[in-house]
């Protein structure tokens, strides 16, 4: 396995906030609790231990939610361990994307699992449980109903509305049939086809199917899956629901924190006067009009938190010490720091999930045969073309440009008349413009001689950066699983190092 690590900043694919967080900029100190170092976790669980969690109820809910799954012994032990005061969770979450959606769905879960293992090694007297929080109440079906695969878009069309986790899977057979046509008939293809059919045809809802699929892929690592769409859990959240819905008690706090964050960074989520939806069989709708306190008491399951309230919900019901997420998630959690302080809820350690580019050996060979290092992959196409052409020709006019500048600097130094000095400066600029035009013409002429190689560069970049985006934000895990089987996930589990603030390029040898 070839592993290359580069700074996140070098990729130019991450936000200013992410780069500053990783570099521990003082500008962000007021927007999080503790920085993610191994040493900081002990203080985090000490703080969390003083915050009451109904562990008995949590274990009961987890056992009942997962009773139809074939759980690994490690997942079963992890659920049972949560009854103990020295057991803590590390959580990630995601929407219920079809066939897991983009690769980072997988990377988030692996990052979470690996962090719990590192923590256990560092602090063997404690137990750390990886939790996947299913965002089953989200209602943006268009974000979860498709997957990009082999240059095609496999899409599940449905007229259903409301929380995606509650959606029926009726009619999804057509999507599975379309997928089978692309998978082929290899051993790994047959395994995936069977896995997906067991998930989506033997369960009644998207939440049930996703739970089955995630458990099948990651259960052996001890992952525990939790669905927040549960009446018993929401009963613990009633005071927050009332404060927001009846009194708009979070608008000012979150607005001010968001405004302060926005002075240097782009805010990720928009705070509203009321940050809950009304959830029913007819859909998930924004709350409007008067809501009675008795309605919240009687039916807490009808009140669904938006993206800014969900973190508070999560931290109330879980003995959680860290949240593992992408850059956008880290940003909107930071908007909530003062809301957590206001409610005296411990703010978890924010851990940026591992990010990586998976490049197959044949692609590595092509790239290196062109003369590039793997770190060069993050240069833009124009820079790569220029670099390649300069290697193949003597078209490097850097020295000539220096000589031109020296000539005019010398002339200028001998000119005492201010009027003439302006003329010299103007002529210098004209010569520079002419020089650059000539350089472009020469480059264009040389470029034509290397069309084949330059096309290879363009095609490989397009393959590894679909839509000029990171591979992990667009591609699905299926092509990699077809080639490598279970080894794909095992490689990720082995190579993705928690709390290592570097972007990873992985290539199987």
Mean pLDDT confidence for 319-341: 98
pLDDT of residue 420: 86
6-34 as b/e: b if 16+ CB within 10 A: bebeebebbbebbbbbbeeeeebeebbbb
The predicted-structure confidence for 8-59, as pLDDT tens digits, reads as follows: 999 999 999 999 999 999 999 999 999 999 999 999 999 999 999 999 999 9
Residue with tokens 């690769």: 103
Cα(8)–Cα(501) distance, integer angstroms: 7
Tell whether the model's pLDDT for residue 243 goes beyond 80.
yes
DSSP string, 113-130: HHHHHHHHHH-TTSEEEE
Q: Write down the domain spans for the chain.
A: 2-236+307-355+487-507, 238-305, 361-469
Which region holds residue 70: left if phi is over 0, alpha if psi is between -120 and 50, else beta? beta
pLDDT for res 396? 67
Q: Is the pLDDT of residue 361 over 90?
A: yes
Across the beta sheet with 303-305, the strand order is: 283-286, 276-280, 303-305
Per the listing, tokens 């996947």 go with: 132
Give 147's pLDDT tier (boundaries 50, 70, 90).
very high
3-state class (DSSP) for residue 225: strand
- Least Cα distance to 160 among 286, 277, 281 occurs for 281
Q: In what order do the strands lie in the sheet with 320-325?
A: 224-227, 127-134, 87-94, 320-325, 349-352
Surface-to-core class of residue 130, CB atoms within 10 Å of its CB (0-12 exposed, 13-18 middle, 19+ buried): buried
- In the chain, how long is the greatest CA-to-CA distance? 91
pTM of the model: 0.91
Quote the percentage of the chain above a pLDDT of 90.
Answer: 84
What percent of the residues of the chain are helix, what percent strand, and what percent coil, each to the nearest 5? 55, 15, 30
Mark residue 337 as left, alpha or beta (left: phi above 0; alpha: psi -120 to 50; beta: remaining). Answer: alpha
Question: Given this model, what pLDDT does residue 226 score?
Answer: 99
In terms of Cα–Cα distance, which of 30, 115, 144, 97 is closest to 325? Answer: 115
Segment 337-344 shows an average pLDDT of 98
In angstroms, the CA 127 to CA 449 distance is 62
Per-residue confidence at 395, pLDDT binned at 50, 70, 90?
A: low
pLDDT tens-digit map of 433-470: 888 888 777 767 677 788 889 999 999 999 999 999 99
**SS3 track for 412-455:** HHCCCCHHHHHHHHHHHHHHHHHHHHHHHHHHHHHHHCCHHHHH
**pLDDT tens digit string along 260-317?**
999 999 888 999 999 999 988 778 888 877 888 999 999 999 999 999 999 999 999 9
Q: Which residue has the tokens 């897991």?
A: 100
Burial of 199 (0-12, 13-18, 19+ CB in 10 A): buried
Question: 367: how many CB neighbours lie within 10 A of its CB?
Answer: 21
Quick one: which of 115, 90, 107, 99 has its CA closest to 38?
Answer: 115
Q: 272: closest CA among 259, 291, 254, 293?
A: 254
3-class secondary structure per residue, 261-307: HHCCCCCCCCCCCCCEEEEECCEEEECCCCCCHHHHHHCHHHEEECC
219 to 59, 94, 113, 223, 224: CA distances (angstroms): 17, 17, 10, 5, 7
Span of 69-73, 168-172, 276-280 with lowest mean pLDDT: 276-280
CA-CA-CA-CA dihedral for 113, 117, 119, 121, to nearest 10? 180
Mean pLDDT in residue range 234-257 = 96
Chain centre to alpha carbon of residue 437? 43
Percent of the chain with pLDDT over 70: 99
**Quick one: pLDDT at residue 21?**
98
Whole-number pLDDT of residue 476: 98
pLDDT single digits (tens) 185-232: 999 999 999 999 999 999 999 999 999 999 999 999 999 999 999 999
Answer yes or no: is pLDDT of 393 > 80.
Answer: no
Residue 330: partners with Cβ closer than 8 Å, 6 or more residues away: 17, 18, 21, 350, 352
- Extract the tokens encoding 458: 């363009």
Element (H, E) at 481: helix 478-484
Q: How many residues does the chain have?
A: 509
**Separation of alpha carbons 486 and 481, rounded Å:** 7
Mean pLDDT of the chain: 95
Does residue 399 register a pLDDT over 90? no
pLDDT value of residue 438: 82
Average pLDDT over residues 411-416: 86
Is the CB of residue 394 less than 8 Å from the CB of residue 388? Answer: no
């Amino acid at each position: 396995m070839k592993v290359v690590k580069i700074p996140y900043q070098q990729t130019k694919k991450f936000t200013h906030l992410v780069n500053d967080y990783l570099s521990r900029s003082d500008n962000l100190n007021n927007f999080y609790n503790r920085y993610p170092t191994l040493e900081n976790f002990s203080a985090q669980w000490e703080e969390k231990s003083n915050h009451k969690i109904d562990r008995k109820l949590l274990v009961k809910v987890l056992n009942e939610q997962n009773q139809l799954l074939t759980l690994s012994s490690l997942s079963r032990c992890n659920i049972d361990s949560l009854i103990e005061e020295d057991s803590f969770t590390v959580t990630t979450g995601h929407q219920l994307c079809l066939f897991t959606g983009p690769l980072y769905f997988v990377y988030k879960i692996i990052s979470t699992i690996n962090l719990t293992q590192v923590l256990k090694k560092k602090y063997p007297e404690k137990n750390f449980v990886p939790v996947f929080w299913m965002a089953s109440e989200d209602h943006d079906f268009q974000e979860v109903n498709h997957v990009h695969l082999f240059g095609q878009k496999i899409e599940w069309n449905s007229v259903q509305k409301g929380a995606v986790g509650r959606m029926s899977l009726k009619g999804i057979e057509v999507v599975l049939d379309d997928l089978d046509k692309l998978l082929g008939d290899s051993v790994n293809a047959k395994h995936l086809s069977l896995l997906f059919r067991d998930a989506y045809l033997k369960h009644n809802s998207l939440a049930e199917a996703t739970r089955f699929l995630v458990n099948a892929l990651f259960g052996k690592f001890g992952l525990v899956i939790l669905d927040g769409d549960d009446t018993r859990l929401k009963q613990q959240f009633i005071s927050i629901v009332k404060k927001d819905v009846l009194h708009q008690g979070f608008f000012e706090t979150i607005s001010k924190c968001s405004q302060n964050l926005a002075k240097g960074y782009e805010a990720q989520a928009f705070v509203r006067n009321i940050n809950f939806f009304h959830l029913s069989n007819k859909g998930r709708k924004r709350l409007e009009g008067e809501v009675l306190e008795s309605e919240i008491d009687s039916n807490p399951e009808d009140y669904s938190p938006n993206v800014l309230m969900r973190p508070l919900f999560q931290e109330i019901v879980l003995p959680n010490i860290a949240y593992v997420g992408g850059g956008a998630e880290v940003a909107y959690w930071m908007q909530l720091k003062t809301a957590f302080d206001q409610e005296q809820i411990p703010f978890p350690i924010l851990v940026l999930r591992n990010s990586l580019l998976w490049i197959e050996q044949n692609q590595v060979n092509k790239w290196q045969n062109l003369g590039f290092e793997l770190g060069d992959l993050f240069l833009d196409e124009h820079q790569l073309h220029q670099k390649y052409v300069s290697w193949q020709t003597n078209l490097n006019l850097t020295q000539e440009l220096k000589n031109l500048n020296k000539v005019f600097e010398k002339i200028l130094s001998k000119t005492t008349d201010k009027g003439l000095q302006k003329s010299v400066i103007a002529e210098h600029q004209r010569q520079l413009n002419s020089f650059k035009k000539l350089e472009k013409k020469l480059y264009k002429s040389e470029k034509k001689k290397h069309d084949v190689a330059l096309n290879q560069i363009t095609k490989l970049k397009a393959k590894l950066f679909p839509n000029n985006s990171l591979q992990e934000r667009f591609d699905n895990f299926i092509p990699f699983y077809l080639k490598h089987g279970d080894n794909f996930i095992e490689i990720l589990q082995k190579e993705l190092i928690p709390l290592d603030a570097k972007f990873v390029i992985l290539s199987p040898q």
